[in-house]
Amino acid sequence: MTNPAITQLSEDELAFKDAVRQFAEGEIKPLVTKMDEEAKLSPELIKQIFEMGFMGIETPEEYGGVGSSFTMACLAVEEIARVDGSVSVMVDVQNTLVTNAFIRWGNDEQKKKYLPQLAQSKVGAYALSESVSGSDAFALKLKAEDKGDHYALNGHKLWITNAGEAEIFLVFANINPELGYKGITGFIVDRDTEGFTIGKKEDKLGIRASSTCELIFENCKVPKENVIGEVGKGYKIAIETLNEGRIGIGAQMLGIAQGAYEATLDYIKSREQFGKPLAKFQGVQFQLAEMRTELEASRLMVYNAARLKDNGQDFVEEAAMAKLYSSRAAEKIASMAVDLFGGNGFTKEYPAEKFYRDAKIGQIYEGTSNMQLQTIAKIELSK
């Protein structure tokens, strides 16, 4: 039966979605268990993802990218997450946060230098969070001191996705803490920059192959030409980029939910109890219907938010709702998958437990569920 949400996609979008699915099934799926166990993405796979153009979907063709839409980027994230949440978040951060920021806020020289690298060969990371600035994103302590021809960055960042593989970092620091958020400035930091090192790698519950690391800045020397946007306007870049990134996380959660649902559907059709497949029991059928409904609602909300963004319309509330709902739905659907797999669902031999572990992060990163609720309520009360 035709999926109602899928019918909203154009022929080109459907063809692209199918191409990403085939790649995910053929190239990513065989590596999922090994990458999860080793907590490391395959370098060869990353190279293949670049070759497929999945790391520069919105990047204009003049900079070596595909020159496509935000919706296309979300479709790629969704289809990859259907197979592996770790690979999908690498692609998501690259497209919806790092590259997005360069396209919107980078000057001509920065675009010429960094966009081709991000589209064709180098992983990027978005460094905002610190030990004291999670949901309170602008309480950051990383300081940038003006040294005349450069800035010296001192401090730490925590929980930075892609940090293990990244070679280009978009880092937010404060040039004048007395000004509060008005001192926050965005900096481009290359991995080999003097005074910059990658610290502890987190040992995580889910999306284990995705690297999440500490960043250490010790008199890190950043040239003044590496300020992205305007000095003191980093908060604006951070806020607006994260608003878009939340749609990408919604797409990731949608993909994880889709993967968990499909695995469950296959399992209940083949697993027999009391002389008949689980799918023949009405109680199981009702749970399947609940999963499918949550999945479809998530898809509609994520696609709607992406469409609004592509059409230049206000999407902030829709992005918050899409992330809030899809992350909750992914956890619910993955949990029901474990239940319906029974004892098998609690073992690593079957896929349900990994979908469940990977889904949990959706309600935490790029704005917790409580922060999404606050955003939605604030917008509603302002009407």
- Hey, which residues are catalytic here? 366
DSSP state of 93: I
Alpha helices for 52-99 (secondary structure H): 70-81, 85-92
Question: Which residues lie closer than 8 Å to 62 by C-beta, 6 or more apart?
Answer: none
Contact 144, 187 (CB under 8 A): yes
Contact 184, 339 (CB under 8 A): no
Measure the CA–CA gap between 23 and 43, rounded to whole angstroms.
16
Strand partners, 93: none
Radius of gyration, alpha carbons of the chain = 21
What does 147-170 look like in DSSP terms, one character per residue? -SSEEEEEEEEEEEETTTT-SEEE
- The secondary structure of the chain in percent helix, strand, coil, rounded to multiples of 5, reads 60, 15, 25
Q: In 3D, which of 327, 330, 323 has the Cα closest to residue 291? A: 330
Could you give the 3-state DSSP secondary structure of residue 173?
strand
Q: Does an H or E element contain 265, and which?
A: helix 234-270
What dihedral angle (degrees, nearest 10) is formed by the CA atoms of 82, 84, 85, 87?
-120
CA quadruple 265, 37, 96, 184: dihedral sign: positive
Question: How far is the CA of 155 from the CAs of 37, 172, 226, in angstroms?
Answer: 32, 11, 18
Number of C-alpha atoms within 13 angstroms, CB side, residue 311? 9
